[in-house]
Amino acid sequence: MAFTWIIPLAISCLVSDSHAVDSLRFFVIGDMGGVDYEPYTTYYERSTAAEMGKVAEVFGPQYIFELGDNFYYDGVKGLDDIRFDRTFESVYTAKSLQVPWYLVAGNHDHRGNVTAQILYSNVSERWNYPSYYYYREFPIDSMGHKVGIVMMDTILLCGITHDDVHEQPTGPAHKGSAEKQWDFIMQTLANSKADYLFTAGHYPVFSVAEHGPTKCLEDRLQPMLEKYSVNGHMSGHDHNLQHLQIKSPKGTNLDYFVSGMANFIDPSRAHYEDVPTGSLKFHNADFITKGGFLYAETTVQNMTLTFVGANGKQLYKTVVSPRKL
């Protein structure tokens, strides 16, 4: 199905001249990781990748963020693993998707060799995975306005989960390493002057779906988001699309986006009662959408975030305001 949005005049200008309008545009996907047997992809992954290519051709995202479970079910074995080609390079083939990708690991990646995924940054021009966790700022315009994203390894922070049990992570395998990452996150959030600031990792803070909220992140990350006026958190892990929103103690919105439907679809709402009352603004796990992803466009005035179905339909749109520092 063809892409069905009406293209605004400003975006039309962007198609022909990428400098005509000052904006930062990016995709957020999660759980793209195919399967570990031929053809090493799923129908939903291929459908989502195809629609990403079509949307990217129109809107020209400068970056793509992939939030873990890059390779199902047990990560990769090494740098020469065929999965890098069959599940990634040979799927996201559109010219419009040949932009920098920034990645972190999910629980399935940690069953394999995450170091090999990091080293793959030296092989692929678009694969950017410099460390288990890192911070990057991305320019909105030529005047110094920026979006900051703290890319986190939530498995190293909270522990690994196993999908056949659906339990909460029970704690990090190496407490010292986890505390080092927590210190990095806190210092980064405290020091960032970015106009928009998000944390991003595989596990969600809040989710109504199969895995539900992540208590470790509720206990440790959530207070930091509130204290340092962070816009919110982006994640995957649950195989659907969600937007949840709560008010911080400062009276501003905190927004949580789950974009985990790039490869599988799971309609579970098992934890609907376990998120803050009234926080769920959007949830989609409809098989007719054939997968989905999040598209964000940021200007100095606001950030517009749109969930897009792999069937070419705009599913939901919301607006986030700049931080109040």
For the record, the structure tokens of 208 come out as 């109504």
Do the domain assignments include residue 249? Answer: yes
Q: Mapping DSSP to helix (H, G, I), strand (E, B) and coil, where does residue 273 land?
A: helix
Distance from C-alpha of 240 to C-alpha of 183, rounded to nearest angstrom: 31
Number of domains in the chain: 1
Q: Give residue 2's pLDDT.
A: 42
Q: Give residue 6's pLDDT.
A: 37
- Would you give the DSSP letter of residue 254? E
CATH number of residue 253's parent domain: 3.60.21.10
Do the domain assignments include residue 2? Answer: no
Do the domain assignments include residue 3? Answer: no
Q: What's the burial of 93, exposed, middle or buried (CB within 10 Å: 0-12/13-18/19+)?
A: exposed
At a CB cut-off of 8 Å and minimum separation 6, what does 140 contact?
22, 23, 24, 146, 147, 195, 298, 299, 300
Do the domain assignments include residue 325? Answer: no
Other Cβ atoms closer than 10 A to 76: 24
Contact 67, 234 (CB under 8 A): yes
Q: Mapping DSSP to helix (H, G, I), strand (E, B) and coil, where does residue 219 land?
A: helix
Domain that holds residue 174: 9-320
Q: What is the pLDDT of residues 24-81, one digit of tens each?
A: 999 999 999 999 999 999 999 999 999 999 999 999 999 999 999 999 999 999 999 9
Do the domain assignments include residue 90? Answer: yes
In percent, how much of the chain has pLDDT > 90? 90
Its pTM stands at 0.93
Structure-token match 């607006």, residue found: 319
Q: What is the pLDDT of residues 6-36, one digit of tens each?
A: 333 233 233 323 333 589 999 999 999 999 9
Do the domain assignments include residue 160? Answer: yes
Do the domain assignments include residue 247? Answer: yes
Contact 111, 75 (CB under 8 A): yes
In the chain, which residues have pLDDT < 50? 1-20
Do the domain assignments include residue 1? Answer: no
DSSP 121-181: GGT-SSEE--SSSEEEEEESSTTS-EEEEEE--HHHHH----TTTTPPP---S-HHHHHHH
Q: Give residue 182's pLDDT.
A: 98
Mode of pairing for the β-strands spanning 241-247 and 253-259: antiparallel
